[in-house]
Amino acid sequence: MSVGEPAVVEDFSRSVTWADPYAAYSRWREQSPVLARMPFVLPDGSEIETLNWLLLRHQEVYGVLRDHETFSSEPPQIPGIPVPRLPLVQDDPPRHSLLRRLVSKAFTARRIALLEPWIRQNAEELLEAMGDGEAEVMGGLAIPLPVRVIARLMGIPGEEYVAFKRWSDTFLSMNTRDLDPGLRARNATEMADYFGRVVAERRAQGAEDLISALVEAELDGERLPEVELLGFCVLLLIAGNETTTNLIGNMLNLLAARPELWRRVREDRSLVEPTIEEVLRYESPVQILFRFVRRNTELGGREIFQHTTVALGFGAANRDPAVFAEPEQFNIQRDWSSHVAFGGGIHYCLGAPLARVEATVALNAMLDRYETIAPGSRPGTRQIATNLVFGFTQLPLRVVCS
User: Which parts of this chain interact with ligand HEM (CB under 6 A)?
Assistant: 73, 88-89, 100, 150, 235-236, 239-240, 243-244, 247, 285-286, 289, 314, 341-343, 347, 349-351, 354-355
Q: Alpha helix (H) ranges present in 46-143?
A: 58-66, 95-104, 109-130, 137
Provide the minimum distance between the beta carbon of 325 and ligand HEM in the complex, in angstroms, as a whole number.
23
C-beta closer to ligand HEM: residue 235 or 256: 235
> Which CB sits closer to ligand HEM, 65 or 376?
65
CB of 150 to ligand HEM, least distance (A): 5
Kindly tell me the number of DSSP H helices and DSSP E strands found in the chain. Answer: 15, 15
Nearest approach in angstroms of CB 97 to ligand HEM is 9
Give least dist CB 49 to ligand HEM, A: 23
How many Å apart are CA 189 and CA 181, to the nearest integer?
12
Would you call 322 exposed, middle or buried from its count of C-beta atoms within 10 A (0-12, 13-18, 19+)? exposed
How many CB atoms within 10 Å of residue 256?
Answer: 21
Spatial contact of 148 and 125, defined as CB atoms under 8 Å apart: no
Which is it for strands 34-41 and 47-55: parallel, antiparallel or unpaired?
Answer: antiparallel
Task: Give the span between the Cα atoms of 108 and 97, in whole angstroms.
Answer: 16
| Three-class DSSP category at 228 | helix
In the bound state with ligand HEM, the residue whose beta carbon lies nearer, of 235 and 271, is 235
| Residues 122/143, Cβ–Cβ less than 8 Å | no
Half-sphere exposure of 148 (CA within 13 A, CB side): 19
Residue among 293 and 376 whose Cβ is closer to ligand HEM: 293
CB of 303 to ligand HEM, least distance (A): 24
Give the residue at shortest CB distance from ligand HEM: 351
How far apart, in whole angstroms, are the C-alpha atoms of residue 224 and residue 211?
A: 11
Contact 390, 284 (CB under 8 A): yes
What burial class does residue 226 get, using C-beta atoms within 10 Å of its C-beta: 0-12 exposed, 13-18 middle, 19+ buried? middle
Q: Which is nearer to ligand HEM, 25 or 184 (CB)?
A: 25
Residue 85 burial (CB count, 10 A): 15
Q: How far is the CB of 184 from ligand HEM (least distance, A)?
A: 23
Instruction: Work out how close the CB of 352 gets to ligand HEM at its nearest, in angstroms, rounded to a whole number.
Output: 6
Residues 394, 398, 401, 402: is their CA dihedral positive or negative? negative
Alpha-carbon distance of 333 to 341, in angstroms, equals 18
CB closer to ligand HEM out of 11 and 358: 358
Q: In whole angstroms, how close is the CB of 96 to ligand HEM at the nearest point? A: 6
The nearer residue to ligand HEM, 199 or 357, going by C-beta atoms, is 357
Task: Say if residues 387 and 21 touch (Cβ distance below 8 Å).
Answer: yes
CB of 120 to ligand HEM, least distance (A): 16
Q: Which is nearer to ligand HEM, 72 or 394 (CB)?
A: 72
Spatial distance between the Cα atoms of 346 and 88, rounded to a whole number of angstroms:
10
